């Protein structure tokens, strides 16, 4: 038997403890004591970190709320200016004693020159990367000066695109910058192209850094794409079991992403969970979401389809751009890979489809040689490079290069890959088209509606509240949006001659009813095609500001729109069959709805069948147990609400049904 000298054992233990102590990483946050200025303006104002320049300007009452009326137009000057941020800090003595000290930026948006004590230490150019700089030789114990000079992203991409001419990267100069693409405007979002220190700043001091732990996959996931007698399957196996995915697309929940708190994320994600969703697709024109988002998805059992942040634009093919994206991909995958919620990495949103079928070559008169280069650069990045970079840090999850595989005008889109079917809305097709055109996994489809009327009251003045006013148009970003909405109102809800005579309040109600009808029946058709179809992800769960959009929830307070209640019922495992009669073809009479309030209950009754009964509690910031429901003659319906979401002492209730609106 081998004998160990106790003194030797004690010596080894001491060495181990000493090494552990030396390997300890001490962290010091540097989020306080910041100020900002319009560059070279010489007047500094308090700033918040993490934060964004628009939010700082609002906090200092230097600009109005861009979400109110047409204020978005009035703040466009901000994107053309350069902005400085500065802070002074002391280093904690315990951190200062460490052999190595790193200054870490978890997120700089986007083109930023960083100076520490007068010395340029970093030139950042990617919103989605973490930046680390060894500053041991530069920092002092006290009175350290940190200056960050942000250059206008809009000016920079405009310059880069002009420098490339006549070579042209469709369809927007934003293609050149690694920044949230929706900042440059979208068909549901404002154009608010800002800058800022959008994530945490800190020092980390250590003597010997601990080795990185080996990665262990937190989930067993397989994307099954097998040929069959109808084409090629597309479905997820989670821990060996096929799962039908019921869910939605997720965009940033605020145009100013740093305003989102963990409670905001919780409220938003509970809206998905409570609507019986089991998947969200994090769309590629936004951001890689916060840790809070993925932590909550983990705990709620919501699977995440994770796009990389590319959407609707081709990419530069130069080495610097590829190197930049490589670091972004490896950093983000390493940051997120431990989350069991993530089940798929996807290269981009609609870029393959856009290049091949949106007519860019003719629209922008792209020569064949340039077209070939654009496509080759696309292939190199999304089909060759990104999957290779992912495998270096996470070989456990499937990857697809683009969503969708084929566009909605291509026959193959119904038999293989995932499908974005936009014949509904963009093509003005009826919802029932899905009976013949449901793909294997429908990862985008949708129907628009107005935001809740309570939101319209917040961003308008009384003189704005008439149909298709300029202010309402400012909050409708989709091309010909109102004209398309009116097509569906005419087809499903009301005679076209009556539409122009509607009040904004009634128009809002009817658009939400048609969105309710559309999502309910589209979802039920998709699910009826299982197992041929194995996924239905509607566009979209949420909004980033108050706007007419495809969202089923409202921006303010994340309250439900009518369609949220429809989706909740349609995604149930025991969902009832879809509608067989269009609402406009129903023979309705005056339901003479009555109600009484008892505690947190509203008890309703009608004298005849009532369609889409809308219960509105004035000032209520929560969701009702049900809304926009059908009410049978003589049968009571109890709707409950949560009093904590109601600030007013007296409860004011308004009730309307489809009959009330179409018979005015």
Q: Closest Cα to residue 513, out of 477, 554, 564, 467? A: 564
d(CA 346, CA 293): 18
What is the tally of helices (H) and strands (E) in the chain? 19, 31
Active site residue 444: yes
Rounded Cα–Cα distance for residues 493 and 144 (Å): 65
**Cis upstream peptide for 110 (omega within 30°):** yes
Does 353 participate in catalysis according to the annotation? no
Whether residue 628 contacts residue 513, with contact meaning beta carbons closer than 8 Å, is answered with yes
Alpha-carbon dihedral sign for residues 124, 295, 304, 477: negative
φ, ψ (nearest 5 deg) of residue 226: -115, 135
Helix axes 386-393, 319-336, angle to 10 degrees: 40
Q: Where are the alpha helices (DSSP H) in 231-350?
A: 262-274, 291-300, 319-336
Which residues make Cβ contacts (< 8 Å) with residue 240, sequence separation at least 6? 220
Catalytic residue of the set 52, 72, 81, 350? 350
89 contacts 146 by C-beta, under 8 angstroms: yes
Quote the crossing angle between the two packed helices 262-274 and 291-300, to the nearest 10°. 30
Task: Indicate which residue of 72, 81, 416, 444 is catalytic.
Answer: 444
Cross-strand partners of 224: 235
State the DSSP string of 561-623.
PHHHHHHHHHTSTTPPP--SS-GGGS-------EEEEETTEEEEEBSS-EEEEEEEETTB-S-
Dump strand ranges (E) for 207-270.
Answer: 221-224, 227-228, 231-232, 235-238, 241-243, 245-250
Catalytic residues: 350, 444
């Amino acid at each position: 038997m081998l004998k160990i000298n106790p003194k030797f054992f004690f010596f080894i233990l001491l060495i181990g403890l000493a090494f552990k102590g030396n390997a300890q990483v001490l962290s010091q946050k540097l989020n306080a004591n910041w100020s900002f200025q319009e560059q070279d303006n010489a007047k500094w104002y308090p700033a918040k970190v993490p934060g964004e320049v628009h939010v700082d300007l609002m906090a200092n009452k230097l600009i109005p709320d861009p979400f109110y009326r047409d204020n978005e137009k009035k703040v466009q000057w901000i994107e053309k200016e350069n902005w400085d941020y500065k802070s002074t800090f002391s280093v904690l003595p315990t951190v200062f004693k460490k052999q190595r000290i790193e200054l870490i930026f978890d997120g700089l948006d986007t083109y930023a020159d960083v100076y520490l004590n007068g010395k340029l230490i970093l030139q950042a150019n990617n919103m989605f990367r973490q930046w680390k700089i060894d500053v041991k030789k530069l920092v002092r114990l006290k009175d350290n000066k940190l200056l960050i000079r942000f250059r206008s992203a809009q000016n920079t991409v405009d310059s880069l695109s002009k420098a490339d001419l006549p070579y042209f990267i469709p369809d927007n100069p934003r293609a050149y910058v690694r920044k949230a693409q929706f900042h440059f405007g979208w068909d549901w979002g404002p154009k608010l192209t800002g800058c800022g220190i959008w994530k945490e700043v800190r020092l980390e001091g250590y003597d010997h850094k601990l080795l990185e732990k080996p990665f262990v996959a937190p989930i067993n996931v397989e994307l099954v794409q097998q040929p069959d007698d109808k084409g090629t399957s597309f479905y997820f196996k989670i821990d060996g079991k096929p799962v039908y995915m019921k869910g939605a697309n997720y965009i940033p929940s605020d145009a100013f992403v740093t305003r989102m708190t963990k409670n905001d994320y919780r409220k938003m994600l509970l809206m998905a969970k409570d609507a019986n969703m089991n998947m969200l697709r994090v769309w590629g024109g936004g951001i890689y979401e916060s840790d809070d988002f993925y932590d909550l998805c983990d705990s709620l059992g919501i699977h995440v389809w994770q796009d990389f942040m590319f959407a609707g634009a081709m990419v530069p093919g130069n080495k610097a751009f590829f190197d930049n994206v490589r670091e972004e991909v490896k950093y983000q995958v390493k940051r997120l890979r431990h989350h069991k919620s993530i089940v798929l990495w996807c290269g981009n949103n609609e870029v393959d489809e856009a290049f091949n079928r949106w007519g860019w070559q003719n629209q922008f008169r792209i020569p064949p040689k340039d077209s070939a280069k654009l496509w080759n650069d696309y292939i190199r990045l999304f089909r060759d490079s990104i999957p290779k970079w992912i495998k270096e840090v996470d070989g456990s999850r499937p990857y697809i290069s683009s969503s969708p595989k084929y566009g909605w005008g291509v026959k193959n889109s119904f038999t293989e890959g995932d499908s974005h079917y936009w014949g509904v809305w963009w093509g003005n097709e009826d919802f029932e088209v899905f009976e013949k055109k449901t793909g294997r996994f429908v990862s985008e489809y949708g129907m628009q509606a107005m935001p809740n009327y309570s939101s319209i009251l917040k961003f308008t003045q009384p003189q704005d509240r008439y149909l298709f006013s300029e202010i309402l148009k400012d909050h409708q970003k989709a091309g010909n949006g109102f004209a398309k909405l009116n097509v569906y109102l005419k087809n499903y809800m009301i005679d076209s001659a009556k539409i122009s005579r509607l009040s904004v309040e009634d128009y809002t109600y009817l658009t939400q009813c048609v969105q309710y009808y559309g999502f309910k029946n589209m979802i039920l058709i998709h699910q009826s095609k299982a197992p041929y179809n194995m996924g239905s992800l509607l566009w979209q769960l949420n909004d980033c500001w108050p706007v007419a959009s495809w969202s089923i929830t409202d921006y303010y307070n994340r309250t439900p729109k009518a369609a949220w209640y429809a989706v909740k019922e349609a995604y149930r495992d025991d969902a009832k069959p879809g509608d067989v009669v269009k609402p406009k073809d129903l023979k309705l009479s005056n339901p003479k709805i009555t109600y009484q309030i008892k505690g947190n209950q509203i008890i309703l009754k009608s004298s005849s069948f009532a369609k889409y009964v809308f219960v509105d509690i004035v000032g209520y910031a929560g969701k009702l147990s049900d809304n926009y429901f059908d009410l049978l003659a003589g049968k009571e319906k109890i709707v409950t609400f949560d009093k904590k979401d109601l600030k007013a002492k007296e409860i004011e209730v308004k009730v309307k049904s489809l009959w009330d609106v179409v018979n005015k």
